[in-house]
């Protein structure tokens, strides 16, 4: 193979397309890749067309290995708390975790495992012995759409806002059947994180997911700020004017957060503009809010602005076109 046929270009191996017969085109396979997967003449390879138009090449053996991800963890040598291990491996998409430990640690480890798996959707303690325990993720991530999970997260946040509104104005708001909790937010958040990190994506999709994960993290923090706001409100005597101002801001939080998230999922310049207009309206209302409440609301507004910035990033990833001089042109 000549040097003109194979070059290194910014981490990519470049192949020259050649003609075979009158209609067929072909390229050669990288030698390192062929050796790694033991490719021989007559073997099958799989081509996957990704969303951005690029192709992903898989050997038959690597495709078979795409199934269940398993790992064994020796807790006595790792010296990490079980909670950190389960969280990290769940987020990274592992389907089976086998813990090894000393016999005298069994009771403590099993108790920790039982407590931790309650925090994550689909985790179950399948079996354990004096020195081992096996935890499986029994749900199929692919059955949960990213869009539906994000909307579920928004719904939980909306319920928390409704709880605060009900406390301030019980005559104007319906009482919720059950309160929204951080544990509920955490379960959906980590399932989304697992789903996004587990899949193999094109560079473009990975960049977009990074932006969306930033928004999801802000939603998580926003919920904790709403919990802090609820505690602060319950500890204060508020005037009718203050209650109305806070309620107006919270209603607009519901609207703007929905616009920000949807603009990232479905790339919409119009939604971004509408969100900015609502944020301007919120800042005008804030003049009627006392300082100790305004401090928390300001934190939430900053989170929304950060999320909006990520939404704009997604917009460029999805729609930006680079001309010959590498300048960004409007889609």
> Per-residue pLDDT for 2 more than 50?
no
pLDDT confidence tier of residue 1, bands split at 50, 70 and 90: very low
Q: Report pLDDT for 12.
A: 67
Q: Specify whether 187 is located in the same domain as 212.
A: yes
Query: What does the pLDDT average to over 147-164?
Result: 93
Residue 133 lies in a domain: yes
Q: Specify whether 29 is located in the same domain as 160.
A: no
Q: Specify whether 20 is located in the same domain as 108.
A: no
Mean pLDDT, all residues of the chain: 84
Q: What is the pLDDT of residues 65-77, one digit of tens each?
A: 556 789 999 998 8
> Per-residue pLDDT for 132 more than 90?
yes
Number of domains in the chain: 3
Domain boundary among 96, 112, 139: 139
Query: Which range of residues forms the domain containing residue 87?
Result: 70-139
Q: Report pLDDT for 6.
A: 45
Q: Specify whether 149 is located in the same domain as 272.
A: yes
More confident residue, 198 or 286: 286
More confident residue, 36 or 136: 136
Q: Specify whether 265 is located in the same domain as 303.
A: yes
- Cα–Cα distance between 320 and 311 in angstroms, integer? 13
Q: Report pLDDT for 268.
A: 84
- Cα–Cα distance between 324 and 172 in angstroms, integer? 58
Q: Specify whether 134 is located in the same domain as 147.
A: no
Cα 75–Cα 78–Cα 83 angle in degrees, nearest 5: 65
Q: Report pLDDT for 321.
A: 38
Contact 110, 75 (CB under 8 A): no
Question: Cα 274 to chain center, whole Å?
Answer: 24
Least confident among 28-32, 132-136, 213-217, 230-234:
28-32
Q: Report pLDDT for 76.
A: 87
> Per-residue pLDDT for 35 more than 90?
no
Contact residues for 104 (Cβ-Cβ < 8 A; gap 6+): none
CATH code for the domain in which residue 82 is found: 3.30.110
Q: Specify whether 111 is located in the same domain as 242.
A: no
pLDDT confidence tier of residue 299, bands split at 50, 70 and 90: very high
CATH code for the domain in which residue 39 is found: 2.10.260.10
Residue 38 lies in a domain: yes
> Per-residue pLDDT for 4 more than 70?
no
Query: What does the pLDDT average to over 222-239?
Result: 93
Query: What does the pLDDT average to over 93-100?
Result: 93
CA dihedral 238, 240, 245, 248 (to 10 degrees): 120
Q: Specify whether 102 is located in the same domain as 198.
A: no
Q: Specify whether 238 is located in the same domain as 299.
A: yes
Q: Report pLDDT for 42.
A: 81
Least confident among 44-48, 62-66, 257-261, 264-268:
62-66
> Per-residue pLDDT for 184 more than 80?
yes
Say if residue 116 is exposed, middle or buried (CB neighbours under 10 Å; 0-12, 13-18, 19+). buried
> Per-residue pLDDT for 227 more than 70?
yes
Q: Report pLDDT for 124.
A: 95
**Which residue in this structure is represented by tokens 């191996």?**
13
What interhelical angle do 291-319 and 203-234 show, nearest 10?
170
């Amino acid at each position: 193979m000549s040097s003109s046929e194979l070059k290194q270009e910014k981490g990519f191996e470049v192949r020259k397309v050649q003609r075979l017969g009158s209609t067929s085109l072909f390229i050669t396979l990288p030698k390192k890749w062929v050796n790694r997967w033991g490719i021989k003449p007559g073997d099958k390879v799989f081509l996957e067309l990704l969303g951005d138009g690029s192709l992903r090449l898989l050997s038959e053996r690597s495709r078979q290995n795409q199934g269940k991800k398993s790992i064994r963890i020796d807790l006595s040598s790792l010296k990490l708390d079980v909670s950190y291990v389960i969280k990290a491996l769940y987020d990274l998409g592992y389907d089976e975790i086998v813990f090894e430990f000393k016999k005298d640690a069994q009771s403590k480890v099993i108790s920790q495992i039982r407590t931790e798996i309650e925090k994550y959707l689909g985790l179950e303690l399948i079996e354990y012995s004096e020195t081992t325990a096996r935890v499986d993720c029994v749900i199929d991530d692919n059955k949960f759409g990213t869009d539906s999970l994000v909307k579920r997260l928004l719904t939980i946040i909306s319920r928390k806002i409704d709880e605060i509104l009900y406390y301030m104005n019980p005559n104007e708001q319906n009482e919720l059947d059950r309160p929204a909790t951080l544990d509920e937010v955490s379960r959906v958040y980590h399932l989304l994180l697992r789903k996004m990190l587990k899949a193999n994506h094109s560079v473009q999709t990975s960049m977009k997911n990074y932006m969306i994960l930033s928004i999801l993290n802000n939603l998580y923090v926003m919920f904790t700020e709403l919990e802090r706001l609820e505690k602060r409100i319950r500890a204060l005597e508020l005037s009718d004017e203050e209650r109305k101002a806070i309620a107006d801001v919270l209603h607009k939080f519901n609207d703007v957060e929905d616009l920000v998230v949807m603009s990232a999922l479905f790339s919409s310049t119009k939604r971004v503009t509408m969100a900015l207009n609502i944020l301007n309206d919120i800042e005008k209302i804030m003049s009627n809010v006392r300082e100790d409440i305004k401090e928390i609301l300001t934190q939430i507004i900053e989170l929304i602005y950060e999320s909006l910035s990520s939404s704009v990033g997604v917009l460029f990833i999805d729609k930006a076109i680079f001309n010959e001089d590498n300048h960004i042109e409007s889609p």
